[in-house]
Amino acid sequence: MKNYELRSDTFTKPAEAMRKAIYNAEVGDDVYAEDPSVNRLQDLSSEITGKEASLYVPSGSMANLIALYILGGRGNEVLMHEQAHTIHHEVGGAAAIAGCMPISVPGDRGVMKRSLMEPMVKKDDYDIAHTTLIEIENTHNFAGGTCWKKDDLKEVRSFADDNSLKIHMDGARLFNAVTATGMSAAEISSYTDSVTFCLSKGLGAPMGSMLCGDKEYIARAKVIRKMLGGGMRQAGIAAAAGIYALENNIFRLKEDHDNCRKLAETLNSLSWASVDLDKVETNIVFAYTEPGKAASINEKMAERGIRAIATASNEIRFVTSLMISAQEIDQVCEILKDL
Ligand SMILES: Cc1ncc(COP(=O)(O)O)c(C=O)c1O
């Protein structure tokens, strides 16, 4: 039976050309900053995000952790959206390792508005934790792959400046936001002090994320990466895949978005599912079922090769990526109609 991989864009596998780039990678000891491929990937990432410097780290979770460690600080509060990946899916590292208190802020489509953050900022008292940082997620995974628009970014920046707060952006899927909004990665990142993006999701590399910011911040980040056990040696083997991903796989993300929209429309036409089509902006779609039905529907889909994730008792998440072509999405839609 054919399998249709829609669980996550983390399931993407390196294609042949990427594997060739890996095979041919020039390497050195990256802890000594002597890996030419890592150095090139870092320079390329700084260029793309418009930041002074960048650091290659093993995962998105580690990039967020380093940002929280440095910009949040032990005992301080960090504002983030109530459905933030960092709160729910990074194993409590923010608290356990960075020592921060994540404060969850409600917000439509993963966007946090000034009016809701305002009462949560704490400053200047001896018996309260102080707020130091805002973490934004763009695109926002569990809000449905939604994007921060220019006005939202402007608002959060001016709010941060008014309150002397820094901004870290969890841009695990930054290039999906670029593709959907038409803003460049540098423009989006210009509203933030620190940004991370993943190479291992829609961009198709086997591993790795970039953390970008000013020189002083990235120099400190390199120390914290080593402390966390993330100093890698001949990492150019993996960085070469990252370079390949940035040079070749950004421009094809639109295909994933088109496939996702088609899937979302089909799901919404079925009797057992509903989708908020307005929220389908990139490569993620959440379908809602009757409460208690998501797991059994998911099993039925799996019997026909469709692999998705039941994220709640009434919710199934589908993510499109280079693992699934337009033709395969048509096949998935036919199976769904027949289910
Ligand atoms: C929004 C977001 N941030 C961070 C991460 C963490 O990335 P990693 O799995 O590389 O640790 C993910 C992973 O899916 C994510 O979706």
Q: Which residues pair with 162 in a beta bridge?
A: none
The rounded distance, in Å, linking the Cα atoms of 194 and 40 is 20
Q: Which residues pair with 195 in a beta bridge?
A: 169, 212
Q: How far is CA 9 from the centre of its chain?
A: 10
State the distance from the centre of ligand 1 to the C-alpha of 65, rounded, in angstroms.
Answer: 11
Which residue has tokens 């090139």?
40
State the distance from the centre of ligand 1 to the C-alpha of 291, rounded, in angstroms.
Answer: 27
Q: Helices (DSSP H) in the chain: which residue ranges?
A: 16-23, 36-49, 60-67, 85-88, 93-96, 114-117, 150-162, 174-181, 185-189, 215-227, 236-248, 253-269, 294-303, 326-338
Is 208 touching ligand 1 by the criterion CB < 6 Å?
A: no
What is the DSSP code (8-state) at residue 82? Answer: T
Q: Please, what are the domains in the chain?
A: 16-248 (3.40.640.10), 252-338 (3.90.1150.10)
Q: Which residue CA neighbors atom 7 of ligand 1 most closely?
A: 60
State the distance from the centre of ligand 1 to the C-alpha of 85, rounded, in angstroms.
Answer: 7
Predicted local distance difference test score (pLDDT) of residue 123:
87
Q: Which of 160, 161, 158 is nearest to 150 (CA)?
A: 158
What is the DSSP code (8-state) at residue 68? Answer: I
Residue 272 near residue 301 (C-beta atoms within 8 A)? no
Q: What is the CA radius of gyration of the chain?
A: 20
The residue to mutate among 85, 91, 211, having the most atoms of ligand 1 within 8 angstroms of its beta carbon, is: 85
Q: Which residue CA neighbors atom 4 of ligand 1 most closely?
A: 60
Is 144 touching ligand 1 by the criterion CB < 6 Å?
A: no
State the distance from the centre of ligand 1 to the C-alpha of 123, rounded, in angstroms.
Answer: 30
Is 283 touching ligand 1 by the criterion CB < 6 Å?
A: no
Predicted local distance difference test score (pLDDT) of residue 126:
86
Residue 10 CA, closest ligand 1 atom number:
14
Tokens of 228: 């966390």
Is 85 touching ligand 1 by the criterion CB < 6 Å?
A: yes
The rounded distance, in Å, linking the Cα atoms of 190 and 153 is 9
State the distance from the centre of ligand 1 to the C-alpha of 185, rounded, in angstroms.
Answer: 18
Is 9 touching ligand 1 by the criterion CB < 6 Å?
A: no
Is 12 touching ligand 1 by the criterion CB < 6 Å?
A: no
Predicted local distance difference test score (pLDDT) of residue 322:
97
The residue to mutate among 175, 198, 199, having the most atoms of ligand 1 within 8 angstroms of its beta carbon, is: 198
* Mean pLDDT split into 10-residue runs, the chain, 339 residues: 97 97 98 98 98 98 98 97 98 97 97 97 89 98 98 98 98 98 98 98 98 98 98 98 98 98 98 97 98 97 98 98 98 96
Is 206 touching ligand 1 by the criterion CB < 6 Å?
A: no
Report in angstroms the alpha-carbon separations of 296 from 29, 142, 245, 308, 313: 49, 21, 36, 12, 9
DSSP per residue, 127-192 = TSPPEEEEEEESSBTTTTSB---HHHHHHHHHHHHHTT-EEEEEETTHHHHHHHH---HHHHHTT-
Is 140 touching ligand 1 by the criterion CB < 6 Å?
A: no
State the distance from the centre of ligand 1 to the C-alpha of 93, rounded, in angstroms.
Answer: 13
Is 200 touching ligand 1 by the criterion CB < 6 Å?
A: yes
Q: Which residue CA neighbors atom 8 of ligand 1 most closely?
A: 60
Residue 209 CA, closest ligand 1 atom number:
10
